[in-house]
Amino acid sequence: MSWIQRLQDGLAKTRQTVQSSMRRMVGRELDPAVIEDVEASLLQADVGVRTVQRFLEAVNSKTGPFQSANPLEVLHALLLDILQKGETEPLEKIIRRGPKPFVCLTIGINGVGKTTTIAKLGHRFTQNGLNTLFVAGDTFRAAAIEQLDIWGTRTGVDVIKHKHGSDPAAVVFDGIVAAKSRNVDVALIDTAGRLHTKTNLMDELKKIKRIIEREMPGAPHETLLVLDGTLGQNTIAQARQFHESIGVTGLALTKLDGTARGGVVVAIVEELNLPIRLIGVGEKEEDLQDFNARAFVDALLPQEPTLT
């Protein structure tokens, strides 16, 4: 199955939410009841209030960049315009252009899929000829260390680890030292899940970042925030808090296949202006891919005479 097909399948729930009321707008007068129904469905898909307002203004406008007789075409053009601002080049290109070792710090709350994302990235990087190192900084969850160990064995990636319950900052220190001495291309650092509202946990993450910066000035070169797409608008609050506290350079959205709220990708780009590096629509390695705005919008709103 191609990535486009997997993306279409993954966004099926969100697509149904968006299109269920959009069909009512085609070829009809935009009476208040129809507009209210459309507004509700778009908000239910979590595209965000700002985007909904822009869409309704564009539909009612006879001029402007999104003018069209077909509201679906208006929405398609608007979403593409927003999401293209969130596109970025592949991480491999950024890594090859950046310092060596390139240090990627991965952060996020519990259960968003940080360790799995790191594992998939490690596999992908090694397949692309990048010498990769895993750093098991999530010492709170024993399964996270074991998971990276399994992936390390499977992909031939070395893992820097300590025992369960060890000081995560000490593991990260050893990871940076090892990355420099072994001359690896990229070090992927895992961290324990933490609530963005818990000050002590965020302070621990800041400590990890200070150690990275001390041992390798300018690092981390990428601070990748992993977000769970099923959480909808809550991901925006998480991203805003992590960005203010740590400084996020890119986002990875996971689990978009399990939600009707995948429109949150639009809201994140519109409100936070942070690049989306990756999106995930499944558990397989190939289900984590670079974010492509046109592919995403085409999967959400297929440009066909009859929408299904």
User: For 188-239, what is each residue's pLDDT tens digit?
Assistant: 999 988 665 566 778 889 999 999 999 999 999 999 999 998 888 889 998 9
Looking at the structure, do residues 263 and 278 belong to the same domain, yes or no? yes
Percent of the chain's residues with pLDDT above 90? 55
- Has residue 117 been placed in a domain? yes
What confidence score (pLDDT) does residue 212 get?
A: 97
Region of residue 11 (left: phi > 0; alpha: psi -120 to 50; beta: else): alpha
Structure tokens at 210: 């200070």
- Secondary structure of the chain as H, E, C letters: CCHHHHHHHHCHHHHHHHHHHHHHHCCCCCCHHHHHHHHHHHHHCCCCHHHHHHHHHHHHCCCCCCCCCCHHHHHHHHHHHHHHHHCCCCHHHHHHHCCCCEEEEEECCCCCCHHHHHHHHHHHHHHCCCCEEEEEECCCCHHHHHHHHHHHHHHCCEEECCCCCCCHHHHHHHHHHHHHHCCCCEEEEEECCCCCCCHHHHHHHHHHHHHHHHHCCCCCCEEEEEEEHHHCCHHHHHHHHHHHHCCCCEEEEECHHHCCCCCHHHHHHHHHCCCEEEEECCCCHHHEEECCHHHHHHHHCCCCCCCC
Looking at the structure, do residues 78 and 130 belong to the same domain, yes or no? no
Looking at the structure, do residues 105 and 240 belong to the same domain, yes or no? yes
The stretch 136-151 carries a mean pLDDT of: 90
Range of the domain at 233: 91-291
Looking at the structure, do residues 49 and 193 belong to the same domain, yes or no? no
Q: Tell me the average pLDDT of the chain.
A: 88
- Has residue 105 been placed in a domain? yes
Looking at the structure, do residues 102 and 237 belong to the same domain, yes or no? yes
Looking at the structure, do residues 137 and 53 belong to the same domain, yes or no? no
- Has residue 306 been placed in a domain? no
What confidence score (pLDDT) does residue 287 get?
A: 85
Final residue of a structural domain among 25, 59, 86 = 86
Looking at the structure, do residues 141 and 67 belong to the same domain, yes or no? no
What confidence score (pLDDT) does residue 88 get?
A: 95
Q: How confident is the model at residue 62 (pLDDT cuts 50, 70, 90)?
A: low
CATH number at residue 163: 3.40.50.300
pLDDT, tens digit (0-9, with 9 covering 90-100), for 248-285 = 999 999 998 878 888 899 999 998 999 999 999 888 88
Looking at the structure, do residues 37 and 104 belong to the same domain, yes or no? no
Looking at the structure, do residues 267 and 226 belong to the same domain, yes or no? yes
- Has residue 146 been placed in a domain? yes
Final residue of a structural domain among 86, 109, 141 = 86
Looking at the structure, do residues 248 and 190 belong to the same domain, yes or no? yes
- Has residue 165 been placed in a domain? yes
Domain count, the chain: 2
Look at 261 and 171; give whichever has higher pLDDT: 171
The answer on pLDDT for 126 being more than 50 is: yes
- Has residue 142 been placed in a domain? yes
What confidence score (pLDDT) does residue 67 get?
A: 62
Looking at the structure, do residues 69 and 198 belong to the same domain, yes or no? no
What confidence score (pLDDT) does residue 218 get?
A: 96
pTM across the whole model: 0.90
- Has residue 297 been placed in a domain? no
Looking at the structure, do residues 27 and 122 belong to the same domain, yes or no? no
- Has residue 228 been placed in a domain? yes
pLDDT, tens digit (0-9, with 9 covering 90-100), for 65-86 = 666 667 888 889 999 999 999 9
CATH number at residue 57: 1.20.120.140
Final residue of a structural domain among 86, 118, 136 = 86
The answer on pLDDT for 27 being more than 80 is: no
